[in-house]
Chain A
Amino acid sequence: MADQIALRRTALDGRSVKRPWVSVTPAAPASRLVLRVPAENVAAVSAALGTELPTKVRTSATSGTRSVLCIGPDEWLVIDADGVDLAGALKGVEAFHSAVDVSHRNVGIIVSGEGAEATISAGCPQDLYLPEFPVGTCCRTILGKSEIVLLRTGEREFRVECWRSFSDYVFTFLEEASRDPLI
């Protein structure tokens, strides 16, 4: 038997960018779950999860440490900074759904500050103007040459989620984009 539990090494250990107008920092490790649920079973899954799944695509619900992002008509990304066993909570749900743990698949990056929107706009072709993309808006989209999931967590703060092996690219892109003083 193993003597000790293996050490967790996150992909962006030690990386951080702080500029007067924007900061780019890795988010803390979190539990993540990809939920796929047909409309008729949303209520059952919501109940088991203890969080109501928002049903409008591109919207999210946040309470406490947990955010639930509606990414597609039957797809949610659940992110819980508390490290709870999200899949475990759904073990007993009989109604057809798919819950897949992706805690380690994704890496979160927090972009915050006056220039957060502009920094992301260097590589994301969506309109991030606050009235068009209000706090709580989320979507899967593109940043440069990588897919990301974008969640606006504040007027001047976004959470960027990407796959682990793309995190170096995504972080470096944001770091490079944030150099531009115009931002």
Chain B
Amino acid sequence: MLLIRCPYCEKDLPEVEFRHAGEAHLVRPSNITEISDEEFEAYFFLRQNPKGIVFERWRHVHGCGRFFNAARDTVSDKFLTTYKAGEPKPALGESA
């Protein structure tokens, strides 16, 4: 069970309180009705799925209820950082 730092609760808390919510920084197109089938596919289906640093969303669903973002290494499952929803992608020293 991972230990996840909720940026709203400012505490490391057990994974079972959280729900993973997919890749982060995907923005729903404001002109969604006008995009092409390919653009819709890219928005809704295509994913980076990186081996290494992933930017992903979590929700502290059984806690404060907030969605937030995390940078995690998918090889070690270590979190590099977590940050509030709406904040920009943080610069991470070695990679990203």
Which of the segments A9-17, A42-50, A68-76 contacts the partner chain?
A: A68-76
A41 interface contact, C-beta 8 A: no
Nearest to A124 among chain B residues (CB) is B14
B14 with A73: CB separation less than 8 A:
no
Chain A residues with CB under 8 A of B62:
140-142, 147
- What are the interface flags for A139-151 relative to B under an 8 Å C-beta threshold, 1 for contact and 0 otherwise? 1111000010000
A71 with B14: CB separation less than 8 A:
no
Interface of A is mostly: strand
A75 with B63: CB separation less than 8 A:
no
B66 with A72: CB separation less than 8 A:
yes
B8 with A125: CB separation less than 8 A:
no
Chain B residues with CB under 8 A of A147:
62
B14 with A72: CB separation less than 8 A:
no
Q: Roughly how many angstroms separate A139 CA and B17 CA in the complex, as a whole number?
A: 11
How many chain A residues touch B (CB < 8 A): the figure is 13
A126 interface contact, C-beta 8 A: yes
Q: Roughly how many angstroms separate A75 CA and B64 CA in the complex, as a whole number?
A: 8
A142 with B64: CB separation less than 8 A:
no
Contact of A140 with B13 at beta-carbon distance under 8 Å, contacts A57-B8, A72-B8, A73-B8 already known: no
Q: Roughly how many angstroms separate A58 CA and B63 CA in the complex, as a whole number?
A: 9
Q: Roughly how many angstroms separate A69 CA and B63 CA in the complex, as a whole number?
A: 12
Contact of A126 with B13 at beta-carbon distance under 8 Å, contacts A72-B8, A73-B8 already known: yes
Further pairs besides A57-B64, A72-B60, A140-B63: 7, Cβ < 8 Å = A72-B66, A139-B9, A139-B63, A140-B62, A140-B65, A141-B17, A141-B63
A contact residues vs B (CB 8 Å cutoff)? 57-58, 71-73, 75, 125-126, 139-142, 147
